[in-house]
Amino acid sequence: MSAQRPVIGVFDSGVGGLTVLRELMQRVPQADYLYFGDTARLPYGSKSVETVAKYAIGAARYLQGHGAEYLVVACNTASALALDAIAKGVNIEVLGVIDPGAQAAAAVSRAKKAVVIATEGTVGSHAYQRALARHGIQAEEKACPLFVPLVEEGWTEHEVTERVAHIYLDAQFAGEFADADTLVLGCTHYPLLKPLLRRVVPEKVAIVDSAEATAGVVAAKFGAAAAGSPSVRFFATDSVEKFRRAGEKFLGRRIEGVEHVEIE
């Protein structure tokens, strides 16, 4: 790895992974970044394990070929279904978002019970449930398919979104899981809903953001932050203008110079 500024590749099926990149840039500003959004082929959640692995490995190799020395798989679905295959497909270190999220939940949960919200694909894989079980945490998983389009519409504080959140979550923190004290955000879109979710879930519940947790793991690896500002190159497999417009909501800053790429 570079003795100067390490180059970290970040891969996602779309723009949601920019929430992970945002946290990485804040926690590890001494690195430079390459971000690949496979926007032409999303969503990954409805695709087979084999297809997700094929797409993700292609993107990982593309990032490695453009100088990435370390890879963060920001996509929860790819992390859940294909992390081992991705790691075998490149010769750089690979980190997914699920294990860091599970570790963070284990660190804050005293009840040893957590609710995980994610897309249907991630919930169907039970990857968070298994990861949390390894830390002694019993998990209840809930697919929240409406959250992604609501976030992309910009309705992060809309009364409709709050009502949907209550419909999804009120029953989760009841019955057997009434004493659950942790909510794990298992989708890269969901950090934009944190203020709303804080109002919806019980006050005792800690909200664990897998994007923040992942950035914390990377920060621990690369050590104390150095002065300077990270550079970022953006790659998208669909419209670069659409990526730029949507992506700025997730990154929280202006996006310039998105490069269009085609990979098989």
Residues assigned a catalytic role: 75, 187
> Measured between alpha carbons, how far is 137 from 115 in angstroms, rounded to an integer?
10
- Please name the amino acid found at residue 23: E
**CA-based max dimension of the chain:** 53
DSSP run (H or E) holding 1: none
Helix, strand, coil abundance in the chain, percent, nearest 5: 45, 20, 35
CB-facing half-sphere around the CA of 72: CA atoms within 13 A: 34
Strand partners, 233: 34
Measuring CA to CA, which residue among 226, 46, 227 is closest to residue 148? 46
